[in-house]
Amino acid sequence: MKRNLMMAASVLAASFLSIAFKTDQQPKPWSVPEKNAKMANPVKSNSESIAAGKTLWMQHCASCHGKQGLGDGNKAAQLKTQPGDFSKSSSQSQSDGSLFYKISEGRDDMPSFKKKIPDQEDIWNLVVFVRTLKK
């Protein structure tokens, strides 16, 4: 009887840990202040801005988000949360201002880039490049 109770308790504990772990892996909503979400990108999408954004992407973003923005970079497995997949419509449907805010401010495993990339035009170039990652 004791053995059955201990076994049941172990299974129950393992189930709770499994649920807690999976819940922790789910991306939590990332709210962006309305004024930031409504910001328009001052950088026009053209071959120059895309190339500039791609250079910054490869330097700062690809290690986690992957070269194609699928969230499969070589550091992705080391993170507590799955990096965003920018080919998905849920990423592409975000406003330019929202992407700019998230890149600038960061959250959790996503670092803030406002000091690493201090020129705002460069962050806008990254946003332009992110738009090329859609399926």
Q: pLDDT tens-digit profile of 51-68?
A: 999 999 999 999 999 999
pLDDT at 1: 59
Taking residue 56's Cβ as centre, other Cβ atoms within 10 Å add up to 21
| C-alpha to C-alpha distance for 16 and 107, rounded to whole angstroms | 27
Query: Does 37 have pLDDT greater than 70?
Result: yes
Query: Does 96 have pLDDT greater than 70?
Result: yes
Tell me the Ramachandran region of residue 81: left when phi exceeds 0, alpha when psi lies from -120 to 50, beta otherwise.
beta
Mean pLDDT of 91-112: 97
* Average pLDDT, rounded, for the chain: 87
**CATH class of this structure's domain 28-133:** mainly alpha
Give the confidence band of 4 by pLDDT, cuts at 50, 70, 90: low
The answer to whether 101 and 30 are in contact (CB under 8 A) is no
3-state secondary structure 83-97: CCCCCCHHHHCCCHH
Mean pLDDT of 99-121: 97
Contacts of 106 by beta carbon, 8 Å cutoff, 6+ apart: 112, 113
The answer to whether 129 and 54 are in contact (CB under 8 A) is yes
Closest-CA residue to 69 (of 123, 29, 126): 126
pTM of this prediction?
0.79
